[in-house]
Amino acid sequence: MKYDLIILGGGPAGYLAAERAAAGGFSVLLLEKLNIGGVCLNEGCIPTKSFLHSVKLYDAARHSKGYGVQAEQVTFDHKKVVTRKNKVVKMLVGGVRATLAQQKVTVVTGSGRISGRTAEGFIVTDGEQTYIGERLLIATGSEPALPPIYGLKETLASGFALTSREILQMESLPDSLVIIGGGVIGLEFAAYFQTAGVDVTVIEMLDHIGGPIDREIGEWLYKALKKKGVDFRLSSTVTEFREGAVTFSQNDNYIDVFCDKVLVSIGRHPSTADLGLETIGVEMKGAAIVTDAQCCTSVPGVYAAGDVNGRSMLAHTAYREAEVAVAHMLGEQDSVNYNTIAAVIYSSPELAGVGETEESAAAKGLDFRVQKCSMRYSGRFVVENEGGDGLCKLIVENGTERLLGLHLIGSYASEIIYSAVLMLEQQMTIPELQKTVFPHPTVGEAIREALFQA
């Protein structure tokens, strides 16, 4: 059969593009080899947030005395947390499937592979059927990066070492867990398991956590998680996995850490193997598909959106890229602004940021200043965070007074950061933003206070 658009991959980029393209009048075929919703819905964003919400409720109940609420014999049932997570995922996947059906998108379970091109279009096969698409969208996502470390392959096979996929299915808590990688994935799992009562050790190769996030904000999170009991081993490199233990080097010393389970979370890489991209000459950069701001590849009529292009491996980026790709197919002008993509770590406390960090602004030689204030300047923050603190930090361009970046750590950071995205998208200046009326009392008022810090 022939379609206006064939999409490989049913994650956030794939299913949203299918919905938008079908609404625009295209006949659409969506091929997904595992589960509609992709990593985000099935083994990433949604499952982890379900875990974290449960453990935050548990933590709040344990520490509610300071708020005048006495909770007795508070317990935590990880197996029930997993059951609820599965229920949430099933409901949301069902919703996506229903929307695709409503838009008359043809969904096929199978691994699509490009086998060439004819005058009619691109040829895609799933092992049984052959399809022709006038256009292609590659949205096959990403998979966990697995470093070539001695013993990893064997311990993954035995179940001692886990990726983010397997750990979400584990129905009982280990007594101890080593997490390899202090990035977003590792930190969120560290926050969950430590609060749930597991002894957690995080081994990170860099001298700081959080990767490219603003260093000062990351240091706040480091101290908060360390205070809760997470043992960080920074500037450390894992050299060996063996059943029941991990070996890492630090300052030329080799150290063994014994544990019940180990989570490998050093990042993800694009899933582009065996797609047949070479048959039509798609330009690659390593495992990533090279795209422009309209998500076009080097081959006219072929697009790539989501983790597969490696530009910003976040679900919300994938959504935006899907919209832009479909807009281009429909002849509309649009582009992705990668400079205003927010990053969030859903730990406790939450961390969020968008735009330039203090480090990136300095590296670019920008003329800037930092304006910041404690989250305690927000009355609501004080009300809801007994004895807690956080930070709101602005990066401001001198001369133009334009806001270049905003970073914060504290409650609701994930919900507040979208306002900063709008500020950056509109290239607003500090004098303009100072006239903005923030509802009172809200945690977001901390941004207003930072705007007035000289």
- Residues serving a catalytic function are 440
Q: Residue type at 197? A: G
Residue with tokens 């992705």: 336
Q: Residue type at 403? A: L
Residue with tokens 């630090």: 250
Give dist(CA 88, CA 137) in Å, integer. 28
Give every CB contact of residue 114 below 8 A, 6+ residues apart in sequence. Answer: 122, 123, 124, 136, 275, 276, 277, 279, 280
Rounded to 5 degrees, φ, ψ at 258 are -95, 140
Give dist(CA 414, CA 345) in Å, integer. 8
Task: For CA atoms 18, 312, 213, 82, give the dihedral sign.
Answer: positive
Using omega within 30 degrees of 0 as the cis cutoff, is the peptide bond preceding 47 cis?
no
Contact call for residues 155 and 241 (beta carbons, < 8 A)? yes
Contact call for residues 1 and 19 (beta carbons, < 8 A)? no
Q: Residue type at 13? A: A
